[in-house]
Amino acid sequence: MSSPLHLDSLQLAYDTPRGPHTVVDGFSLDLAAGEIACLFGPSGCGKTTVLRAIAGFEPVRAGTIRLGDALLSSPQKHLPPEQRRVGMMFQEYALFPHLSAAKNVAFGLRRLGRAAQQTRVAEMLALVGLAEAGERYPHELSGGQQQRIALARALAPSPALLLLDEPFSNLDGGTRERLTAEVRGILKKAGQTAILVTHNDAEAHAMADRIGVMHGGRVTHWLETAA
């Protein structure tokens, strides 16, 4: 299998009035095509910062981020987020409330013609099991259905990599558990390479192929899951 994602010796820091505050240091990760990895660790260990750097929202101070043949980030180079082929399902990227489910899914497909957009939206709605829900608005959908539409929206432009940051944390326990298993099935069916960040141990095990346990801004060890 090819290895689409290579993070090599990343250092990430935030500027503060007292100077740069290094949050991630010496972080390396290789992800194979179709693999789902999870970053797991205590609050503040740098999980979200790593995802933000991959997505292109944080510069790297040292090291490189490569996706396939493309260099996304290095201290000298910063490809803009919209050119990275990285999809996101972040808590703060909720659905657009004034757009129907179908229009939400079509959001990242503006470069396609109308007919191609419609075909892709229908495919994505079917993939997440909501083929009949295209005309509904977010407030007419349950929390779990909304997250499935958010997943369809993230997958529609065929990202080379999908980032999921606490995607189920707003859902109640039962829905969360069911959706975790469903989403893993959807990602595997699509052959999607993905990185998940979660605080929830059961969720990490149910969703990921392997879990990177983070401490002090780097992965200290990897656990293979039975998923």
Interaction mask 180-209, ligand ATP, x per CB under 6 A: -------------------x----------
Do 227 and 210 meet the contact criterion of CB atoms below 8 Å apart?
A: no
Number of other CB atoms surrounding residue 26 within 10 Å:
14
Closest CA to 162 of 218, 59, 85, 96: 85
Span near ligand ATP by CB under 6 A; candidates 44-52, 90-98, 155-163, 187-195: 44-52
Among 36, 38, 47, 65, binds ligand ATP (CB under 6 A): 47
| Pairing assessment for the beta strands 86-90 and 161-165 based on DSSP bridges | parallel
Q: How far is the CB of 9 from ligand ATP (least distance, A)?
A: 18
Span near ligand ATP by CB under 6 A; candidates 30-38, 39-47, 70-78, 89-97: 39-47
Span near ligand ATP by CB under 6 A; candidates 16-24, 30-38, 107-115, 205-213: 16-24
Closest CA to 180 of 194, 198, 168, 196: 168
> What secondary structure letter does DSSP report for 170?
T
Residues in touch with ligand ATP (CB under 6 A): 14, 16, 21, 23, 41, 43-49, 199
